[in-house]
Amino acid sequence: MFIIIGFVVVIGAILGGYLMEHGNLKVLVQPAELIIIGGSALGTLLVANPLHVTKKIFAGIIAALKGSHFNKAFYLDTLKMFYEILNKARKDGLLAIESDIEEPDKSQIFNKYPKFVKNHHMRDFVCDTLRMAVTGGIEPFDLDQMMDLDMEVSHNDENTPIAALSTVADSLPGLGIVAAVLGVCITMGAIGGPPEEIGHKVASALVGTFLGILLCYGFIGPLASNMAKLAEEEHAYVYVLRVVLISFIKGAAPIQALEFGRRAIPGHLRPGFNEMEKHCKGGGAPAGGA
């Protein structure tokens, strides 16, 4: 939502200032220039990236437009989910949660938190780690290193489409110059014609440069920056999962493991201890459907 609002503000500020100087809006309507720039940018994107990265770029754009779901309610529900599954493991033994982690889609505990179950990366991160704990034979330090490796690989995967989109944004001013040069070529062919026609063609050529710079710094660049922030938010969330898991595996009681995890939550989203304890022990439905 905020992305759309930002785009509207960008367009409104540019068109508002342009109209204040008595500019003619018809001059800015140049479909040919937009096709040259947009089509070339899409082409460079396809040339520079394999299909799976291209898919991730469009998936990331859609996710950015939807906005982040990593809010306080989501963190609280995650802690509550951990409280339930870890308490079950502590009371009945690790083998008691084997069916939950083997088939999380059928788990009565995990199914209370559909957003968590639908995110395969988060779900597998938790279930695979608990599976290693249930299997035994691996030291907490080694398990922590394994989770760290998982996070590093996932973080690199998330940053690849962001870097690709940033590269496209950086190329847009140059593609705008290409469109402008083509416009100048057309203008040169019209020399000798009416001055109004030449002026119109020159204006059309300059619009190409304008569009390239605007798309780079007003739209695609900020969109890539937003995607990067979403990736950082997910990385911070998975780090909280890691802290809770390794604390419990090292022998901490469930509520103590949750406190370690709570301390790892970013400050602007971190609930207080009493708020967390009340939410986890109070029962009832999850607050945010984590």
Task: List the Cα angle 144/148/149 in 5-degree steps.
Answer: 120
The whole-number pLDDT of residue 175 equals 93
The whole-number pLDDT of residue 266 equals 95
The whole-number pLDDT of residue 276 equals 94
pTM, full prediction: 0.87
The whole-number pLDDT of residue 23 equals 84
The whole-number pLDDT of residue 27 equals 83
All structural domains of the chain with their residue ranges: 30-281
Length of the chain: 290
Tokens of 50: 């394999």
Q: What b-and-e string marks burial along 98-108, b requiring 16 or more CB atoms within 10 Å of the CB?
A: eebbeebeebe
Question: Could you identify the residue written with the tokens 């605007």?
Answer: 214
pLDDT tens string, the chain, 290 residues long: the values are 688 999 999 999 999 998 998 888 888 888 888 899 999 999 999 999 999 999 999 999 999 988 888 999 999 999 999 999 999 999 988 889 999 999 998 899 999 998 888 888 899 999 999 999 988 878 999 999 999 999 999 999 999 999 999 999 999 999 999 988 888 888 877 676 777 777 777 888 888 899 999 999 999 999 999 999 999 999 999 999 999 999 999 999 999 999 999 999 999 999 999 999 999 987 555 655 45
